[in-house]
Structure 1
Amino acid sequence: MENRLAWILLNNNVKDLKRTSQYSYRRVNMKTRVVVTRRPGEVVLEECEIRPGDNEVLVKTYMSSICGTDKNYSQGMMPREVLVEQLAGNNEAHHAYPLKMGHEAAGEIVEVGRNVTDFKVGDKVMSFGWYNTMADYFTAPVVHNGFGVVKMPEGMSMEAASLGEPTACAVYAGMNSGVELGDTVVIVGVGFAGQVMAQVVKRMGAAKVICVDVVDGKLDLAKRMGADIVLNPERDDVAEVVMRETNRQGADVVIEAAGNDTAIQLCSDVLKHGGILGLYSWVLEPATLFINRWHNDGFDIRTLALMHRIKMDRPWWISKTLQNVANGMIRIDPLISHVFNLSEAAKAFEVACNDPAACKVMLKS
């Protein structure tokens, strides 16, 4: 009987298995392929065994995404606290190498643990945590603090859902940037997050959205997605253009999404007196900045990181941000630039790390 149920579940022929306290299904360990960074610069596909615990679900991965964190880890750039303390198991820091990869993904639940009541087989869910999602299958806990898995909103594509976590983060950043009707907003760095934030601040009433990046392909995409002005600092005088467009006042809001001190400095240079400086990126290298204006010009400085908020706030914000995508207000699918099969993981990482025009590189399981 148990073997028969395992076959049915894993072939998705039963979408909703009703269980009672006397009947709780638990399969034996199963094998899955998973992307592993053995050491910096060496990304491989390995096989391992997994099964869900009593408070976990087993998810058949539809698609996973390579994000900036994945790229940093694959190249040996872990945050200092991880290198020093080698923390693990808290979704904030990870093991040393070899490191199983992935935290952005969506898929369908094919098994639930004996204590799970909020999810069922057949539910489509998104990953919010480091659960080794670059795999055929992954397990994740059922928790209610913004980690674990989250049900897909109705109306959201599986492709967009596979980017649920970074989308929620970027939409949250735009919604909490302080933009008001008629503002001029500058976004420095228009990778995936910057592209999403540009759409959000426009929807929230920004009269003028100026996007800045050193990659023309990303600027072209930003323009197609609705940016008013795009600038490349390697050929454009960004500060002068911003001053001209704001009657020499400076931008009302600037958001840094490039991840380096040059970008942060540019944000400081083009912000108006009393303006809002939004910090989004996870900067891993020491920064050298001239920050006298932060004090003298009374900047309102805020960090825009959803996943590092108070834990009980996160579920509400995740639902709020992703509903805007499901409603069609924010477009995500056009930001997927490359799709590779899971077996091509090494090539996918090479593109993600080395092709400056790549926006979101995905792995299809």
Structure 2
Amino acid sequence: MTQEVMIAPHEITFQEIPIPTVSAKEVLVKIKRIGVCGSDIHVYHGRHPYVTYPLTQGHEVSARIEALGEGVTEFKIGQKVTIEPQVYCKKCYPCTHGKYNLCENLKVMGFQTTGTASEYFVVDASKVTPLSDGMTYDEGAMIEPLAVTVHACKRAGNVAGMKVAVLGAGPIGIMLSQSLKAMGAEIVMVTDISDYRLELAKKCGADFVYNTKKVDFAKAFVECFGEDKADIIYDCAGNDITMEQAIQNARKGSKIILVAVYAGMANVDLAKLNDSELELNTSMMYRHEDYVDAIRLVEEGKIQLKPLMSKHFSFKEYQSAYEYIDKNAETTMKVLIDVDPSDD
């Protein structure tokens, strides 16, 4: 079978290796689609701090089950599935207290361990989550980032009836705005500096959108929510500008949740954070229940994924996909790699 290998930044090749054999409690899947995310792009440019080369990528994925190892009874051959890419130790404090997404020894497929970018892939059955028959493989490959946003919603507690600002209209920001509305948020405001992305956020259900290159954030914030401002602010951009916007304008005693991977060391006003008794929280990946909820929200028609699908590339065009993203950064949301383009 063919496997993708990034041998160095900006250098992708392919190798032929045997189809892996399936052992007890494992599942062999045929990979269908792989999504390219922002962290993958960091790897491509040599800017990811926690990877070494060579490596095989792929962590946003949909697949079809080809074979079941001994003892695997919860799945069937031919079933549509996605894969949870976290590899955790099961022994550290977070793992033994239900928070394996915070494992002290966490590895992620496609970063610190082999990813799914191959024609076939063997994975522990515990990391396989079934997709509904009616879900497309394209949608299945986007469940992983959607689970990120579902988990982020839960980090705020019950968001029903809440007024929420989402800073950053990338794929995560737009999926988060949808997840918030699906979970009952009353008003969701999205900000960005790209009119294209803001128009897409509005199309996907955001109540209000503002380009903070054209409109002052503080003015827009009050215009949207009134003098009482928002209950929660999510930072999905991850830089000093957006975090300062959140800290300086948040209602005293309200919540700020960082979802984005922060771009370097922060230089923000912690004195203001303290003076306003703001709850600064973070959100890290997801757990199995977030995958289940993400799939349910798509099945119920509460999440639109298709508008976020920018372009498809064939498996052998993996490098071309990155080159396309670099040239079309503002207008590209989710690029999908068709490892097997069929929909059977």
CA, structure 1 residues 112+37, in 2 after alignment: closer, same or farther (shift >3 Å)? Answer: same
Whether the 8 Å contact between 1:66 and 1:352 is mirrored in structure 2 is: no
User: Secondary structure in 1 aligned to 2:245?
Assistant: helix
User: Matched residues in 2 for 1:304 and 1:223: separation?
Assistant: 24
- Alignment RMSD (CA, Å): 2.0
Q: 1:152 to 1:217 in 2, by over 3 A?
A: same
Give the alignment's TM-score, normalised by structure 1.
0.79
Measure, in 1, the Cα distance between the counterparts of 2:306 and 2:201: 14
Residues 52, 297 of structure 1: alpha-carbon distance in 2 compared, 3 angstrom cutoff: farther
8 Å contact 1:45–1:345 — kept in the other structure? no
Alignment of 1:172-321 (within 5 A): 172-178=151-157, 180-307=159-286, 314-321=287-294
| Match 1:105 to one of 46, 57, 61 | 61
Aligned residue-pair number: 310
- Bigger shift: 183-192 or 63-72? 183-192
Label 1:243 to 1:138 Cα distance change in 2 as closer, same or farther (>3 A).
same
What is the rounded CA distance, in whole Å, between the counterparts of 2:311 and 2:31 in structure 1? 17
1:52 and 1:113 in contact (8 A); partners too: no
Which residue pairs with 1:62 in the alignment? Answer: 32
Q: TM-score, normalised by structure 2?
A: 0.83
- After TM superposition, where is structure 1 displaced by more than 6 Å over at least 4 residues in a row? none
**Alpha-carbon displacement from aligned partner over 1:41-90 (angstroms, at most 9, x marks no partner):** 223333333403413222111111001111111111223xx3xxxxxxxx
C-alpha distance 45-284 of structure 1, shift in aligned 2 (>3 A): farther
In structure 1, the gaps of 5 or more residues are 1-30, 83-93, 308-313
Partners of 2:65 and 2:33 in 1: how far apart?
14
Q: Pairwise mapping of residues 125-140 of structure 1 onto structure 2 (< 5 A)?
A: 125-129=81-85, 130=109, 131-140=114-123
**Matching residue's letter, 2:313:** F
**Secondary structure of the corresponding residue to residue 223 of structure 1:** helix
Give the SS at the match of 1:101: coil
The structure having more radius of gyration, on CA atoms, is 1
DSSP-derived class of the 1:34 partner: strand
Secondary structure of 1:45's counterpart equals strand
Is residue 59–residue 107 contact of structure 1 (8 Å, CA) maintained in 2? yes
Change in Cα spacing, 1:316 to 1:202, as seen in structure 2 (3 Å) is closer
Partner of 1:12: none
Do 2:192 and 2:198's aligned partners in 1 also have CA atoms closer than 8 Å?
yes
- Match of 1:299, as an amino acid? L
Give the structure 2 partner of residue 44 of structure 1: 13
Q: 5+ residue gaps in structure 2?
A: 86-108, 340-344
Percent identity at matched positions? Answer: 29
